[in-house]
């Protein structure tokens, strides 16, 4: 595991696959634009499915503020493609089944306490109640999330590392932080 990516550092470059394309470069993909990068567990995780449903709305808000949205999952591209069922999502899913990108950015798994925290149980209950069901398990079940805002110069402007597997800031919080980064001219 590498050291955590911190605010003020250049976002690490990496090559990635999406459900439809292979061998893309991250810096080329952001190409001088701001970006919001979410690290979530995997496609079969109900909490992650719920967050991605929210991101379908939030990514459009982020785009209005000049940012492209990426979601890094520990999932195989075929599993993500099947889950998308031909639907176009307003964000790019980066498939990292070997968890190499997670490691490069210092996004580490937690322990059993991070998995069974009351906030996680509540998030799992809400996701289940909203109709999200557990699918194929991939990667680390204990993987914690992270969210980064990358400025136009490919510098990490905001870094949030989740304390539990459900600790992901609300879209409104990220939108407000994006507005601040944009106003700062970054």
Asked whether residue 69 is domain-assigned, the answer is yes
Q: What is the DSSP letter of 5?
A: P
Q: In the chain, how many domains are there?
A: 1
pLDDT tens profile 24-76: 999 999 999 999 999 999 999 999 999 999 999 999 999 999 999 999 999 99
Report strand pairing: 34-39 vs 15-16: unpaired
User: Is 105 inside a domain boundary?
Assistant: yes
Task: Give the CATH number, domain containing residue 90.
Answer: 3.40.30.10
Given a cut of 80, whether residue 186 has pLDDT beyond it is: no
Query: Does residue 5 lie within any of the structural domains?
Result: no
Q: Report residue 110 CA to chain centroid gap.
A: 16
**CA nearest 181: which of 12, 36, 5, 45?**
36
Q: pTM of the entire structure?
A: 0.95
Mean pLDDT score, 146-161: 97
Q: Judge whether 8 lies within some domain.
A: no
- Structural domain including 112 reads 15-183
């Amino acid at each position: 595991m590498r050291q955590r990516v911190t605010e003020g550092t250049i976002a690490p470059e990496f090559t990635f696959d999406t459900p439809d394309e292979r061998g893309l470069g991250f810096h080329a993909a952001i190409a001088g634009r701001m970006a919001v990068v979410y690290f979530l567990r995997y496609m079969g995780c109900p909490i992650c499915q719920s967050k991605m449903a929210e991101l379908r709305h939030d990514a459009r808000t982020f785009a209005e503020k000049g940012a492209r949205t990426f979601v890094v999952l520990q999932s195989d591209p075929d599993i993500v493609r099947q889950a998308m069922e031909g639907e176009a999502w307003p964000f790019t899913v980066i498939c990292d089944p070997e968890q190499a990108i997670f490691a490069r950015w210092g996004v580490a798994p937690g322990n059993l306490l991070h998995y069974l925290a009351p906030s996680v149980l509540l998030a799992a209950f809400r996701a289940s109640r909203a109709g999200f069901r557990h699918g194929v398990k991939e990667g680390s079940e204990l993987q914690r999330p992270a969210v980064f805002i990358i400025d136009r110069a490919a510098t990490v402007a905001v870094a949030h590392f989740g304390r539990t597997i459900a600790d992901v800031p609300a879209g409104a919080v990220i939108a407000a932080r994006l507005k601040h980064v944009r106003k700062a001219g970054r």
